[in-house]
Amino acid sequence: MYKLVINPNNQKGHINPELQGHFSEHLGRCIYEGLFVGEDSDIPNTKGMRNDVVEALKEMKIPVLRWPGGCFADEYHWKDGVGPKEKRKKMINTHWGGVVEDNSFGTDEFMELCKQIGCKTYINGNVGSGTVQEMSEWVEYMTMEGVSPMADWRKENGHEDAYTVNYFGVGNENWGCGGNMTPEYYGNLYRRYQTYVRNYNNEKPVFKVCCGANADDFEWTDVVMDTCFKRPTPPNAHGLMDGLSLHYYTVPNTWETKGAATVFNSKDWYNTLKKTLYMEELIRTHTAIMDKYDKKNEIGLIIDEWGTWYDVEPGTNPGFLYQQNTIRDALVAGINLNIFNKHCDRVKMANIAQLVNVLQSVILTDGEKMIKTPTYYVFKMFNCHQGAELLDSHIENEMIGDEDNKVPNLTESVSISEDGTINITINNLSCTDAYDIDGVLVDKNIASVKGEILTGKMDAHNTFENPSVVKTEDFDDVTCKENRISFKIPACSVLHLAVKTV
Ligand code: AHR
């Protein structure tokens, strides 16, 4: 029996909905086919956006979407992607598969997509190969209400009203595909470029994200914080940065031979989960460095790329990064989302890579067919935490796994929503064992509990032939008495309990 203790008297911080954010890049079949098929397509669409995908994303409650990359962002020239489609420049997507990019999905289409799915916008600017002027004019095109060359151009293109840009990334992975820069060099460029990311609408200021580290590159964080986290003059002017990013992927083996998405054994299972859990150590260490400079915790850690990265599905274009998604991915998502909740004081946004048909996607498409992956169902279960308050909680656990890969058997996070519902999300990391859990709510009696679970064999997954092998099911086997709740959580599962108190 493992004890779970929840103290509703101790609220530990606000969980930004954006912790469950997503990322879409001009990569493989993510944008074209996955999200956008064009108005003339036989696939049902609204202004070119796939209706089935938009519907599924709304149901999942996607809070924010990052675009246009990734590595693609630092080669993207936004002016090529606005105006009459027949006049838009064609280019080669040199990063991803060498295919022709016809720029038919550009800024106005991205804004339309976000409007249809009802989410916030996160635009990633080009520092690697773009100019300050280009970045500055992009922000002007999107957000300027009044008269200006770029606002006028937007209007000429049929978009009278200014858009809202909630988040703006000043470069992507500038230590690598975004220009191979040193932290000193990038830090100074950041200071310069961000100056011209103007706030044309003071009621909706743009949240500026500075490019942060690759995984455990702590020196990058230290140098960039030292260079950029300094107030401009006058001292009460808006700070230079609102967030610093971090990228960390779960790669089971090595970057050369990552491992297959659906064919793996229990050793691979524990190895993958162990590597996922490393996220917590990364957050702690990067946070400690940020704390040195940002003593008042004013800027957010933005984990704008995370998720599993396997070898591509056999027979698919290696440059498209298309991979399947199993119960193992569901656990990776559940573990990470619980970690982000627990660190919501510093982590203000996270974006899984990537939305459709790439890496750890929530949706896969094949022509007119669409399936929801196990990761989709985890995000749907976890949306109960969006905008809630994190509660103090602790679950007893033991270390399990094989000799080389030890992981805790259980991880959890708990929050209280505005209507007083206490939402518990628990992961069982064992691929063989179920566990009895005895939960206690401090000072509160339980009125009712509603449960839902995602579980299955470790490699279970949905296919276009069998789209519903893995999906959430009701979980009713819960006993409640006064302030106690007990249940058995099966192996390989992600569980959500919604508790109403008296
Ligand atoms: O998500 C795929 C790629 O991974 C992104 O383009 C890049 O930022 C990262 O290296």
List, in order, residues 6 or more apart from 334 with CB less than 8 Å away.
Answer: 378, 382, 411, 425, 427, 494
Give the number of other CB atoms < 10 A from CB of residue 354: 26
Cβ of 70 below 6 Å from ligand 1:
yes
Q: Are 240 and 191 in contact (CB under 8 A)?
A: yes
Backbone φ and ψ of 329, nearest 5°: -70, -35
CA of 98 to the centre of ligand 1 (A): 16
Give the N- to C-terminal CA distance of the chain in Å, as an integer. Answer: 26
Cβ of 335 below 6 Å from ligand 1:
no
Give the C-alpha separation, 351 to 24, whole Å: 9
Kindly state the tokens that stand for 237. Answer: 């002017």
Place of tokens 């809070």: 63
Which residue has the CA at smallest separation from atom 6 of ligand 1? 70
Query: Any idea which residues carry the catalytic annotation?
Result: 173, 305
CA of 291 to the centre of ligand 1 (A): 27
Mutate to test the pocket of ligand 1, among 65, 67, 71 (most ligand atoms within 8 A of CB): 71
354 cis-preceded (ω within 30 degrees of 0): yes
Q: pLDDT value at position 244?
A: 98
CA of 249 to the centre of ligand 1 (A): 9
Q: What is the DSSP annotation of 260-313?
A: -SS---HHHHHHHHHHHHHHHHHHHHHHHHHHHH-TT--SEEEEEEEEE--PPP
Atom of ligand 1 nearest to the CA of 72: 6
- Distances, alpha carbon 132 to alpha carbons 63, 150, 190, 192, in Å: 29, 15, 10, 8
Output the tens digit of pLDDT for each of the chain's 502 residues: 999 999 999 999 999 999 999 999 999 999 999 999 999 999 999 999 999 999 999 999 999 999 999 999 999 999 999 999 999 999 999 999 999 999 999 999 999 999 999 999 999 999 999 999 999 999 999 999 999 999 999 999 999 999 999 999 999 999 999 999 999 999 999 999 999 999 998 888 999 999 999 999 999 999 999 999 876 665 545 579 999 999 999 999 999 999 999 999 999 999 999 999 999 999 999 999 999 999 999 999 999 999 999 999 999 999 999 999 999 999 999 999 999 999 999 999 999 999 999 999 999 999 999 999 999 999 999 999 999 999 999 999 999 999 999 999 999 999 999 999 999 999 999 999 999 999 999 999 999 999 999 999 999 999 999 999 999 999 999 999 999 999 999 999 999 999 999 9
Instruction: Give, as one character, the DSSP assignment of residue 447.
Output: E
Give the number of other CB atoms < 10 A from CB of residue 232: 13
Cβ of 73 below 6 Å from ligand 1:
no
Cβ of 352 below 6 Å from ligand 1:
no
Kind plus residue range of the DSSP H or E element containing 258: none
Which residue has the CA at smallest separation from atom 3 of ligand 1? 70
Cβ of 93 below 6 Å from ligand 1:
no
Q: pLDDT value at position 238?
A: 53
Cβ of 24 below 6 Å from ligand 1:
no
Q: pLDDT value at position 201?
A: 87
Cβ of 304 below 6 Å from ligand 1:
no
Which residue has the CA at smallest separation from atom 9 of ligand 1? 70
CA of 395 to the centre of ligand 1 (A): 34
- The percent of the chain in helix, strand and coil, each rounded to the nearest 5, is 30, 30, 40
Which residue has the CA at smallest separation from atom 5 of ligand 1? 70
Give the C-alpha separation, 107 to 476, whole Å: 46
Atom of ligand 1 nearest to the CA of 354: 1
Instruction: Give, as one character, the DSSP assignment of residue 396.
Output: -
CA of 500 to the centre of ligand 1 (A): 41
Cβ of 128 below 6 Å from ligand 1:
no
Cβ of 74 below 6 Å from ligand 1:
no
Give the C-alpha separation, 427 to 430, whole Å: 9
Which residue has the CA at smallest separation from atom 4 of ligand 1? 70
CA-based nearest residue to 496, from 455, 445, 441, 442 = 455
Place of tokens 């006028």: 152
pTM: 0.97
CA-based nearest residue to 30, from 356, 364, 304 = 356
Place of tokens 């490699």: 459
Give the C-alpha separation, 12 to 390, whole Å: 5
Atom of ligand 1 nearest to the CA of 71: 6
Q: Are 412 and 425 in contact (CB under 8 A)?
A: yes
Kindly state the tokens that stand for 216. Answer: 């455990």
CA of 497 to the centre of ligand 1 (A): 34
- What is the length of the chain? 502
Give the number of other CB atoms < 10 A from CB of residue 100: 9
CA of 173 to the centre of ligand 1 (A): 8
List, in order, residues 6 or more apart from 92 with CB less than 8 Å away.
Answer: 98, 99, 100, 101
Atom of ligand 1 nearest to the CA of 69: 6
Q: pLDDT value at position 363?
A: 98
Mutate to test the pocket of ligand 1, among 26, 27, 93, 177 (most ligand atoms within 8 A of CB): 177
Mutate to test the pocket of ligand 1, among 26, 94, 180, 247 (most ligand atoms within 8 A of CB): 247
Cβ of 25 below 6 Å from ligand 1:
yes
Single-letter code of the amino acid located at 202: N
User: What is the separation of C-alpha 362 from the centre of its chain, rounded to a whole number of angstroms?
Assistant: 11
**Based on the number of CB atoms within 10 Å of its own CB, is 450 exposed (0-12), middle (13-18) or buried (19 or more)?**
middle
Place of tokens 């002017």: 237
Give the C-alpha separation, 415 to 428, whole Å: 19
Mutate to test the pocket of ligand 1, among 93, 173, 211, 214 (most ligand atoms within 8 A of CB): 173
Q: Are 363 and 34 in contact (CB under 8 A)?
A: yes
Backbone φ and ψ of 423, nearest 5°: -105, 125
234 cis-preceded (ω within 30 degrees of 0): yes
List, in order, residues 6 or more apart from 233 with CB less than 8 Å away.
Answer: none
Kind plus residue range of the DSSP H or E element containing 126: none
Cβ of 69 below 6 Å from ligand 1:
yes
Give the C-alpha separation, 225 to 366, whole Å: 44
Helix (H, G, I), strand (E, B) or coil at 77: coil
